[in-house]
Copies of this chain bind each other. A is one copy, B any other.
């Protein structure tokens, strides 16, 4: 279905020339672009207001709410990109899995994956399964104009962890037991999840998303050998299946210091880095030909401004080692973050890097 994609990279346009897309492609930028993971979320009073009494999955499947929540941070912050408001389980719910997102807990899966028979429930995702996503992305890109919209999906490993554990997990022990104990089933499971993720991201790009980010939030739980054998082939398949769309692909995980080289090999244009590894060291690990995204510790935003400013400058200084840099936090905005601090931070990044 490559014919349907407009190669925004190939043509000069205000969108293609946006600092965000140029940085992803390691082109020169007029300032370092900035956005914040979870910029649309619980730290915003206007988000809490629209979400009052509204279950997460209802918000994620209502095109009007997706659009409104995605746009909220852009009214406050000088961010260089929007990211689709969604949740990584949305495509799984869309194909019929019984998953609820419980406040204070996270996704809870009614019937966790326990054996081969459970794979049958993981059918392919069709565009008609997520009309609200198509509608929201179409509406958002029309509104956003030259501001890129980043498409959103979970990576196969992290999706598998939720499905196998039945919910959030500290030790990912059932997931690993399956991975180590029944590698055939593991690969079959991740193959299904990769197919779903590919469809979910292609639907978003077809509707106008100008970039995609694949969140492998929990993959830092495995070491590099297991990553190479049990995770990388599936993440690579997703990223490669997006290649023909021409949009930059961002590949992010937490606690991935040992995995950065392999994550770079998986095929994304941009590797997201958490705060545990400086971007100078991350650039060495990821290697040439990739941009980096990150990596201020979100907890630093709870400190006094002087500390935040010094740390943000340090991130920018270390990022000079990278071929391209998208400023971000090392993980999502914490709920008790002051929005005024994020606004000031976005300004600081722009001021410090303007040419």
Contacts and interface: CB of A to CB of B under 8 A. Distances in A.
Interface of A: 171-174, 176-177, 180-181, 220, 222-225, 255, 257-258, 275-278, 297-300, 302-304, 307, 311, 331, 334, 336
A218 to B, nearest CB: 12
Contact of A171 (B172, B225, B311, B334): B334
A139 to B, nearest CB: 33
Nearest to A175: B299
Contacts of A224: 276
10 contacts: A171-B334, A173-B298, A173-B299, A177-B299, A177-B302, A180-B304, A181-B302, A220-B255, A225-B278, A255-B255
Given A223-B297, A277-B223, A302 B334 contact: no
Contacts of A298: 171, 173
A174 B299 CA distance: 8
Nearest to A330: B223
Contacts of A275: 223
Contact of A181 (B222, B225, B277, B307): B307
A179 to B, nearest CB: 8
Given A220-B255, A223-B275, A258-B277, A303 B334 contact: no
A115 to B, nearest CB: 15
B334 A299 contact: no
A279 to B, nearest CB: 11
Contacts of A220: 255, 276
Nearest to A173: B299
Given A173-B298, A181-B304, A258-B276, 8 more contacts: A173-B299, A173-B302, A176-B299, A180-B302, A180-B303, A180-B311, A223-B275, A258-B277
Contacts of A303: 176-177, 180-181
A222 B177 CA distance: 29
Contacts of A277: 223, 258
A275 B302 CA distance: 31
Given A172-B299, A258-B257, A278 B181 contact: no
A257 B257 CA distance: 7
A334 B173 contact: yes
Nearest to A225: B278
Contacts of A173: 298-299, 302, 334, 336
A346 B43 CA distance: 49
Closest 8 CB pairs of A and B: A180-B303, A176-B299, A177-B302, A181-B303, A173-B299, A180-B307, A223-B276, A257-B257
A292 B234 CA distance: 34
A336 B171 CA distance: 12
A328 to B, nearest CB: 16
A292 to B, nearest CB: 15
A310 B277 CA distance: 31
A165 to B, nearest CB: 11
Contact of A299 (B171, B304, B311): B171
